[in-house]
Structure 1
């Protein structure tokens, strides 16, 4: 486990500045997914039941994009999920925010009231507000060293108003932004429940010992990410099962006429392959038969229906492949079922389209119904589980992290975790 302090160590009734990640897809100005909200609502509920007063920070989108909005609707969603009003404050560290923070009332006696009573009685819990989108704040962006972020007016203004800082946003822990790395430089700092949980599971495969084979399912579009993960876990993983764009690129390296761009298709393959051709060849040479590639691929026929080609029958790529085929699933299924641990990073096809969800869904189903220790993550891949009614109880962990999850798999440190560890050293010293 990382050497950081967690919120379990806090005395009741503290004033806390809390960073979460409820960044969500937005269409027509409306939030389209509450998956991250649901996880963080549990953390907020737990902190409120301990009588803490919370000023919550989060972001939505990036400047210049359509998804870059204020957080008023985010406050409504969180309030509904937490079961208690979380007031939206359209400021981060301006006068309005400072006044709202000053009005927050912790309740040190909340814990003695009991969690069951506290959950239904506002008088026995702390209070919470949600500050405006931190990426609208001077000093939050761009990425800079923690010591630089610690000197921003944003950090200097808010730090003195709280007893401690809580980072519950593992999924943004790879970003060196003020709300992630600045506050831990100058405040007592703690990992929230989501942060601690995500860190534990997303680094678990290389830290644990398993009585049997470890299998890694790798999909998505970026060959360099897949190769970095394979390199880092070379001594841990026994078998790599490939799909998606990456699966086609590896098939191309094995001499099959796939993994190419089409004139009327997306530019996903040629540049990707040219940039990584030597790396792919090296990995195939070193790992040999530990790497399983698709034996058939699915595409959309002239009637708009799913159809499949056996890879050995493809003489020239003339269609866009959207999923691994049924024979590939049947080849992958027993490998997954017989594994002691399964780690999933990336989808094996365009699972958002039900016609091409089969590969991702059925491999996940096999993992979830097996006895294997199973962690699923990598962008939106974990979304497949609720989208296709797979039983979440079959998986040990469904990560809400994308970039941070990938960095954990490739062995890169996370600046947000490093910041919490430095804070712990300072606090202990």
Structure 2
């Protein structure tokens, strides 16, 4: 298939100073803050291998301000070194320390800048022209010959480090970005049904909108919900107390939409029918009626069995987000059972998002799943036919380069 943007095959990069934006947002141990899965780092190593005769500056994020996984990229740099790359870290993004380190960079070296989200302006979402005026772009773009974007996982965000540099620099997709677009386009060209969407985890406001779009275009035959997104719909259905909405961002704003979707698609949206709660550190399985205000950390065994049966009868199954607090061993059962069913399914299967992808790898299921996507929200956006901001920006850059 012909891609709408340029790739590394279309440019000369040997000896050049290359700025690469990647998505190496890794799962962390919630207590130690240590990286527990480096699959996203390893996924983009083919791009770095191709750039070994260039001077490479790597830009990425980890978590977001205020989140438990918002940390420096020092650990990520050490993992790159362990993988055989000549990588160093600078605790700066676009100040004097970063510029000095960039100027001294030699061919074959990789300089990792500090977490770009430690710059407040990175969180701004706006047009390419607007975010290109942010200091992170204005202070850095003139130091480079080429911009390579391999951050498919962040392709749905029109932010400075994602799209801003495309206004000024020759810009191409890296190998991860290229592979994701090719593979997902091929998967979407199929018209197989039943098409099952399994959603869990957080980032609830984004996921509610994705559910709405997928249902409106008739793509999903069933939507199976767990995690915080499942809790939102259980509250909307008056199955659990609204106190479980406390951790959900924009809860009051999105609750009416959840109620509306339930009323319109009650035969499509499948909710948990039982629960696993935390009681003094132990997993207790119970009915929804008997949760009693205890932390709701996983779907229950009856739900897991019901969801697994639906998945095994699918022709296309797409999963994003865990069914519960899977970082705690006692509460990973729902996610494990869903992934086993996806692995067993004789159908097209896609697993997206860092957490579920990490679990699939830990369970040695990678070879049994059609595609492990590095994207979460980006993959879901692509599934709806949404034009991702990064793809759009690379298309415009490609036309300018011709």
Q: TM-score range by the shorter chain?
A: 0.7 to 0.9
- Match of 2:401? 427
Shift of the alpha carbon at 1:364? Answer: 1.0
Is the Cα–Cα contact under 8 Å of residues 378 and 406 in structure 1 kept in the other structure? no
Shift of the alpha carbon at 1:402? Answer: 3.8
Shift of the alpha carbon at 1:291? Answer: 2.5
Q: Distance in 2 between matches of 1:157 and 1:359?
A: 47
Q: Distance in 2 between matches of 1:271 and 1:145?
A: 24
In structure 1, stretches of 5+ residues that fail to align are: 107-125
- Residue 401 of structure 1 aligns to a residue whose secondary structure is coil
RMSD of equivalent CA atoms: 3.5
Change (3 A) 1:382 1:65: closer
Q: Output the TM-score relative to the length of structure 1.
A: 0.78
Is the Cα–Cα contact under 8 Å of residues 40 and 354 in structure 2 kept in the other structure? no
- Match of 2:161? 179
Among 25, 37, 44, the residue aligned to 2:41 = 37
- Match of 2:127? 145
Question: 1:153-201 deviations in whole A, cap 9, x for unaligned?
Answer: 5534543343311011122333443322221001110111122233445
Shift of the alpha carbon at 1:248? Answer: 4.4
Among 350, 369, 373, the residue aligned to 1:395 = 369
- Match of 2:223? 240
Aligned residues: 396
Shift of the alpha carbon at 1:250? Answer: 3.5
Question: 1:189-229 deviations in whole A, cap 9, x for unaligned?
Answer: 01111222334455665x32143421111223565444322
Is the Cα–Cα contact under 8 Å of residues 217 and 345 in structure 1 kept in the other structure? yes
Q: How does 1:181-330 map to 2 (within 5 A)?
A: 181-201=163-183, 207-221=188-202, 224-234=205-215, 235-254=218-237, 258-261=239-242, 267-268=246-247, 272=251, 275-300=253-278, 304-309=282-287, 314=289, 317=292, 319-330=294-305
Change (3 A) 1:359 1:203: farther
In structure 2, stretches of 5+ residues that fail to align are: none
Shift of the alpha carbon at 1:423? Answer: 0.5
Q: Output the TM-score relative to the length of structure 2.
A: 0.83
Is the Cα–Cα contact under 8 Å of residues 165 and 184 in structure 1 kept in the other structure? yes
Is the Cα–Cα contact under 8 Å of residues 176 and 416 in structure 1 kept in the other structure? yes
Change (3 A) 1:32 1:360: closer
Q: Distance in 1 between matches of 2:132 and 2:12?
A: 25
Change (3 A) 1:365 1:12: same
Q: Distance in 2 between matches of 1:127 and 1:223?
A: 39
Q: Distance in 2 between matches of 1:248 and 1:30?
A: 28
- Computing the radius of gyration from Cα coordinates, the structure with the larger value is 1
- Match of 1:335? 310
